[in-house]
Amino acid sequence: MLVLPAAANEMRAQPFKATAADPNARRRLFIYNGGFLKDKRTRRILKLAGYDLRLGLPKEGDLIGVWGHSPTSHRGESVADKRETPIIRIEDAFLRSVLPGRSGSAPIGLSIDHKGMHYDPAQLSDLEDILSHHPLDDTNLMNRARACIARLHEAHLTKYTGFDPTTPCPEPGYVLVFDQTLNDASVLKSKADRSTFLEMLVFAQEEHPGKKVLIKTHPDTLAGHREGYFKPSDVNQNVKFFTNAVSPWTLMEGAAAIYTVSSQLGFEAIFAGHKPRVFGQPFYAGWGLTLDERPVPRRQRQLSRAQLFAAAMILYPKWYDPYRDCLCDLETAIDTLDAQTRAWREDHKGWVASGIRLWKRTPFQRAFGQTLPVMFKDNQGHVEAAISTDRRHMVWASAKDVAVSNYTTYVEDGFLRSKGLGAELVAPLSLVLDDLGIYYDPTRPSRLEELVRMRKILRPDQKQRAERMTAALIQARLSKYNVGSPELVDLPKGHRILVPGQVEDDASILTGTKSVNTNMALLSAARAAHPDAVILYKPHPDVEAGLRKGFVSNEDLAHLCDAVLHKCDPIAAIDVSNEVWTMTSLLGFEALLRGKTVTCLGAPFYAGWGLTRDLGPVPARRSTEIALESLVHAAFIDYPRYFDPITQQPCPAEVVLERLASGKVPKPKPFNRILSKLQGLFASKAYFWRS
């Protein structure tokens, strides 16, 4: 069985059972709000959580479901009173989606509360029960909480993530006051109103004389969905509305103080290092982490930040994995939101793409055009016109005669690409975007290099994720293309050195090698260094198919190697070898993952970090020694973007790994197969079809 993060929860603390209901028993849940019927995702999460949604009147043993304390909740409450049926209240979890629900985004989690609602202090909720009575002392649970806080901070994730974290914030030293939407249930249940917000604003000014006060507008207000409590008449010389869509994490880091009634941003401010001044009675008030104007007398327990987070984010919600269609843990939900958020942040302004061949445009449109359709332009004038509308410019990294600028982002296949070759027109499941250079070109810095340096020191959770990724790759025997026969028999015995052939006019050879830049030269160097070893030569699949340059004659092979591994699975070749000699082949990286010694005669992205024996021209800027896990995290998790062929959505690395391992990937369409055959016929005129 393939072990991935969603299944690797043996050491994770079990959820606190705040309700006596058997979590394995299915319950009929009667609803009286059309929103439940319209929202497919909400219905699915409820079903997976053990509830069967029904219309009509409940009987003994049934439940009634209402959406928090929404304007429609009275319908269910009325039926519940008449028939003495228990109510459960449902709300979005504290991480939701890229855009607000009113913009059409589906939630990744729900709060399902059998006792009350977390924002209603009038009665105990399941969340408050956890905060009051759960020991919250499990070391593993606390470590998970701290790791998740760090992940949310690093990726700038919050309830709604549709903002650009690079958007600048004001100079630090301001006071933040959070607005909320008019008649929001959390405000009303705190018995707050506009006067409460005005009172809060007065306190913010009086307690911080001379400081700039910024009223942070709610995302729903910015989107035009709902009014806020503050009005233009409330601002003055020192009080301003702040409407820029910035990262709340960055905004709160620069704040001298934070004021809120009951906003979720007050909850997040705690994990940004603040002790917010609270004028309502939200769930996070009363535990020693806030300054409370209206304390809830029954809340007397003192909690740490990690304990509050663990209760509210790990133990309380039901999280949903849209790729595996199952409930999941918080870590997997963060993986999902992180992948979807990254795609939106990189794509929401739209792309103009250059150097993209015709067959690739459909996959590119799926990967990068979900917010705004990608425009494909190669003419410099057309590119400049598109960029002038604030679109970003991407260029296929190896494309020739394409106009580039200092603002161009380069795109290439990722390291876990597909089941089948790009030369055979199999669409990629991962692509990398590099705003500095490209990973295979050591003549200039790349974003991957920066990520590797950033990951020199990994948190325990990051190290574990990289280790799980590596173990799963090895277990599933996955490589970049996942082609070739796994059967290798009758090989000569002895110390085996695998020499992977490459495409000799490939950009990685042209930029990343010097004296040794042909398959012939590589074989000669390996043989000269190891005259008594068993040299195994694996021709590159594109060269074997007659599509690319790099052929070595049979006569030369007879002198330089002991066996030729024709059309073989690269993982099988690595497994039967003791070490690898390569110029810049990705197979060298795949060999590192499997514990093999790797000698590089060029400068691939994995050379120069203390993991390989480097005989090639490795740039001096790669002077940091790193662990293999750091390289894995940077190369497989941080650098590429992944696209799930099943859900047709951006996804985490682990999902593509699972798809490839299970074989649940699309096969090339008949047109692509015909076109790939034509490529073979016109291999000498590859410029017609190559990228």
What does the pLDDT look like over 320-365, one tens digit per residue? Answer: 999 999 999 999 999 999 999 999 999 999 999 999 999 899 999 9
Q: Supply the pLDDT for residue 587.
A: 96
- Does residue 507 contact residue 592 with C-beta atoms inside 8 Å? no
pLDDT of residue 490: 87
List Cβ neighbours of 168 (8 Å cut-off, separation of 6 or more): 246
- The pair of three-digit structure tokens given for residue 335, joined into one six-digit string: 């993986």
Q: What is the mean pLDDT of the chain?
A: 91
- At residue 230, does pLDDT exceed 60? yes
35's CB contacts (< 8 A; 6+ apart) are 42, 67, 72
pLDDT of residue 678: 53
- Cα 139 to the chain's mean position, in Å? 26
Phi and psi at residue 430, to the nearest 5°: -140, 145
Asked if 395 contacts 410 with a C-beta cutoff of 8 angstroms, the reply is yes
pLDDT tens per residue across span 195-225: 999 999 999 999 999 999 999 998 888 888 8
Could you write out the DSSP letters of every residue in 168-199? PPPPS-EEEEE--BTT-HHHHHTT--HHHHHH
Q: What is the pLDDT of residue 691?
A: 41
Nearest-angstrom CA–CA distance, 81 and 59: 13
What are the residues whose beta carbons fall under 8 Å from the beta carbon of 320, sequence distance 6 or more? Answer: 41, 44, 45, 48, 107, 108, 109, 110, 326, 327, 328, 333
3 state SS of 600: strand
- DSSP β-ladder status, 640-644 and 430-434: antiparallel
Lateral strand order in the sheet of 496-500:
563-564, 534-538, 496-500, 579-582, 597-600, 613-614
pLDDT for residue 269 is more than 50: yes
- Which pLDDT does position 657 carry in this prediction? 96
Residue 318: enclosing H or E segment and its boundaries? strand 318-321
Q: Where residue 675 falls among pLDDT bands split at 50, 70, 90?
A: low
The residue ranking higher by pLDDT, 144 or 426, is 144
Average pLDDT score over residue span 579-606: 97
Q: What letter would DSSP give residue 346?
A: H
Please say if the pLDDT value at position 13 is more than 50.
Answer: no
Strands 326-328 and 318-321: antiparallel
* pLDDT at 237 > cutoff 60: yes
Angle (CA) 335-339-586 rounded to 5° is: 95
Give the pTM.
0.92
Tokens, residue 131: 């905060």
Integer Cα distance of 608 and 620 in angstroms? 8
Which residue pairs from 589-597 have beta carbons closer than 8 angstroms and sit at least 24 positions apart in sequence?
A: 589/415, 589/631, 589/635, 590/479, 590/480, 591/498, 592/628, 592/631, 593/470, 593/473, 593/474, 593/628, 593/632, 594/474
State pLDDT tens for residues 78-106.
999 999 999 999 999 999 999 988 888 99
Burial classification of residue 104, based on how many CB atoms lie within 10 Å of its CB (0-12 exposed, 13-18 middle, 19 or more buried): exposed
| Tokens (6 digits) for 132 | 């009051």
So what's the pLDDT on residue 24? 57
Q: For residue 672, what pLDDT is reported?
A: 55
DSSP three-state, residue 434: strand
CB 109 within 8 A of CB 136: no
Burial of 39 (0-12, 13-18, 19+ CB in 10 A): middle
Question: In this structure, are residues 275 and 193 in contact, taking their beta carbons and an 8 Å threshold?
Answer: no
Percent above pLDDT 70 for the chain: 92
Burial group, residue 424, by CB count within 10 angstroms (0-12, 13-18, 19+) = buried
Q: How far apart are the first and last CA of the chain?
A: 37
CA 188 to the chain's CA centroid: 35
Cα–Cα–Cα angle for 324, 328, 330, nearest 5°?
A: 130
d(CA 126, CA 332) in angstroms, rounded, equals 23
Give the residue carrying structure tokens 């043996």. 10
In sequence order, what are the beta bridge partners of 375? 352
Q: Distance from CA of residue 441 to its chain's centroid?
A: 25
